[in-house]
Amino acid sequence: MKKTVAIDGPAGAGKSTIAKLVAEKLGYIYIDTGAMYRAVAWKVLDAGVEPTDDNIVDVAKKIDVRLRFVGDAVRVFAGDTDVTEAIRTPEVTALVSQVAQLGPVREKMVELQRSMAKDGGVVMDGRDIASNVLPNADVKIFLTASIEERALRRWKEMKAKGYEEPMDKLTAEIEARDKADSTRTISPLVRVPEAALLDTTGLTIDEVVQKVMGLCG
Ligand code: CDP
């Protein structure tokens, strides 16, 4: 039977790396819900409008966000534009939590996410997957790591993409985003009691993938 696997956790916990590899091993589809909120933030910046809540909601209503397979890789599209790389800039990251706390934005994205998961065979990662998007998911995992390790991972990721950001700036950015995501009114980041807690501090990617595969049974 094709299962649904929900992976939640704070910024930099390694969700997307792990979810992608686990989906590959299981022959499932990987759904990166953060990328969808990032696409909305990208569009707001691209449109050059003032990032007020009203303008963000307006952009979200019009945007056509899609995750599409190009060859083996999942690419993120806003309309016809491939924004896979563009949604990872520091500017988008700085705006995304404001975008993600708005009810009308979440409603639209959650509906899309549920429709993508309706036939099972998906690994979905985000902040509210087990608690809200897929409360009946077969497997629920809460992935985390120490703040130091999460900041270091993000530093390496950004450096590989050509962004040299100071560690203290990245740490502050992650802490601010964790706070915004955990304290917002609508669908905050929470660990549901039935989710397996996986602290990945000090573990290799392979070790984490093995543990998650074990939980997927
Ligand atoms: O990869 P990283 O941990 O930096 O973040 P992401 O998964 O790309 O998500 C970016 C932002 O989108 C998060 O900080 C949340 O504000 C928001 N998000 C959300 O609210 N709900 C989700 N299911 C996924 C992401």
- Tokens at 152, concatenated: 């270091």
Test site for ligand 1: of 15, 37, 161, most ligand atoms within 8 A of the Cβ = 37
What average pLDDT does the chain have? Answer: 96
Residue 206 confidence class, pLDDT cut points 50, 70, 90? very high
The protein residue with its alpha carbon nearest to ligand 1, atom 12, reads: 34
10, 126 Cβ separation under 8 angstroms: no
pLDDT digits (tens, 9 = 90+) for 117-139: 999 999 999 999 999 999 999 99
Q: What is residue 139's predicted lDDT score, i.e. its pLDDT?
A: 98
Q: Is 61 helix (H, G, I), strand (E, B) or coil?
A: helix
Give percent of the chain above pLDDT 70. Answer: 100
Residue 71 confidence class, pLDDT cut points 50, 70, 90? confident
The protein residue with its alpha carbon nearest to ligand 1, atom 3, reads: 11
**Selection from 7, 56, 30 nearest residue 189 by Cα:** 7
37 CA distance to ligand 1 centroid (A)? 7
Domain boundaries, the chain: 4-211
Q: Does residue 69 register a pLDDT over 90?
A: no
* Cα distance between residue 92 and residue 139, in whole Å: 30
36, 129 Cβ separation under 8 angstroms: no
12 CA distance to ligand 1 centroid (A)? 10
Residue 210 confidence class, pLDDT cut points 50, 70, 90? very high
**Selection from 65, 88, 85, 99 nearest residue 12 by Cα:** 88
* Cα distance between residue 128 and residue 130, in whole Å: 6
Q: Does residue 19 register a pLDDT over 90?
A: yes
Q: What is residue 35's predicted lDDT score, i.e. its pLDDT?
A: 98
Q: Does residue 73 register a pLDDT over 90?
A: no
The protein residue with its alpha carbon nearest to ligand 1, atom 10, reads: 34
Q: Does residue 116 register a pLDDT over 90?
A: yes
Residue 214 confidence class, pLDDT cut points 50, 70, 90? very high
The CATH architecture assigned to 4-211 reads 3-Layer(aba) Sandwich (3.40)
